[in-house]
């Protein structure tokens, strides 16, 4: 399958460590979303990732793995997203884990399938923020500098503003996107209804919907109806 992340506007993120029924997965995969991202901060294993991938693979849509630990690298996804947490104070999450993984698998990788994500984690309560010791007390200028770093200095195709669990500062998201020239701005965090999906869609290139899938599937499904007419990117 040829997968073009530049066309993605809406993505559902599924966590291998959380249960989802076949019925719910069917509705998610047939919802009209552009892709499924598989990933989570804790409890992600090879086994639960393989299981979830095999179930999603019954559907036509693109399915990518966001790699959070080396043990859970499962072949067979369309693409592999590698988060580089630019505002992590623990360097393990900027280059440490990546270094270890490349020592092990560097010669085996198909680089056409690898996509680097310049992550900026902005909700200090999120599991990912704690894990990476993210410096979350950032203003729009700080975030813009990280965004430029990802886009211009490192040539990363994605800048991911991660508010996981809370709905973020849309003005900050808007200002961040303005400084990007090539990278796509992914926004994730607290989208739990169509109205919030719409607000995020007006300032980001791609919106990611996670938690609400597990607590209110109906609301999650409504977020697919977001209108993205604003941007021609």
Nearer to ligand 1GP, 152 or 194 (CB): 194
- Which part of the chain contacts ligand 1GP (CB under 6 A), choosing from 43-51, 91-99, 149-157, 189-197? 189-197
Task: Measure the CA angle with vertex 157, ends 228 and 165; round to 5°.
Answer: 60
Task: Determine, following the binding rule CB under 6 A, whether residue 209 of this chain makes contact with ligand 1GP.
Answer: yes
Number of residues that bind ligand 1GP (CB under 6 A): 13
> DSSP character for 209?
E
Q: How far is the CB of 53 from ligand 1GP (least distance, A)?
A: 17
Task: Determine, following the binding rule CB under 6 A, whether residue 68 of this chain makes contact with ligand 1GP.
Answer: no
Nearer to ligand 1GP, 176 or 211 (CB): 211
Contacts to ligand 1GP from residues 108-147, by CB under 6 A: none
Is the CB of residue 198 less than 8 Å from the CB of residue 229? no
Can you tell me which residue has the tokens 């209110």? 216
Of 25, 48, 189, 226, the one binding ligand 1GP by CB under 6 A: 189
What is the Cα–Cα distance from 186 to 159, expressed in whole angstroms?
6
Task: Determine, following the binding rule CB under 6 A, whether residue 62 of this chain makes contact with ligand 1GP.
Answer: no
Q: How far is the CB of 211 from ligand 1GP (least distance, A)?
A: 3
Of 210, 221, 223, 226, the one binding ligand 1GP by CB under 6 A: 210
Q: How far is the CB of 220 from ligand 1GP (least distance, A)?
A: 9
Is the CB of residue 82 less than 8 Å from the CB of residue 95? no
> DSSP character for 45?
-
Q: 90 in the Ramachandran plot: left (φ > 0), alpha (ψ -120 to 50) or beta?
A: beta
- Picking from 116, 175, 186, the residue whose alpha carbon sits closest to that of residue 145 is 175
Is the CB of residue 82 less than 8 Å from the CB of residue 115? yes
Q: How far is the CB of 103 from ligand 1GP (least distance, A)?
A: 27
What is the Cα–Cα distance from 55 to 15, expressed in whole angstroms?
13
Q: Count of alpha carbons within 13 Å of 177, Cβ hemisphere only?
A: 20
> DSSP character for 157?
S
Build a one-symbol-per-residue string for 148-187: x at contacts with ligand 1GP by CB under 6 A, - elsewhere.
Answer: --------------x-xx----------------------
Binding site for ligand 1GP (CB under 6 A): 13, 162, 164-165, 188-191, 208-212
């Amino acid at each position: 399958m040829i997968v073009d992340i530049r066309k993605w506007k809406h993505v559902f993120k599924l966590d291998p460590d959380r249960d989802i029924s076949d019925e719910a997965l069917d509705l998610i995969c047939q919802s009209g979303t552009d892709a499924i991202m598989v990933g989570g901060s804790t409890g992600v294993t090879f086994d639960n990732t393989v299981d979830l991938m095999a179930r999603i693979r019954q559907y036509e849509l693109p399915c990518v793995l966001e790699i959070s630990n080396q043990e859970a690298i499962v072949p067979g996804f369309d693409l592999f997203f590698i988060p580089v947490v630019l505002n992590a104070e623990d360097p393990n999450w900027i280059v440490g884990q990546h270094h270890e993984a490349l020592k092990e698998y560097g010669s085996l990788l198909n680089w056409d399938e690898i996509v680097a994500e310049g992550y900026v984690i902005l909700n200090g309560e999120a599991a990912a923020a704690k894990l990476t010791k993210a410096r979350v007390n950032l203003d729009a200028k700080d975030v813009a500098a990280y965004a430029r770093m990802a886009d211009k200095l490192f040539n990363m195709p994605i800048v991911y503003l991660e508010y996981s669990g809370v709905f973020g500062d849309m003005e900050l998201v808007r200002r961040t996107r303005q400084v990007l020239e090539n990278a796509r701005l992914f926004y994730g965090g607290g989208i739990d209804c169509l109205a919030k999906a719409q607000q995020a869609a007006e300032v980001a290139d791609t919106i990611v919907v996670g938690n609400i899938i597990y607590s209110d599937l109906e609301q999650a499904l409504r977020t697919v109806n977001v209108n993205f007419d604003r941007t021609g990117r």
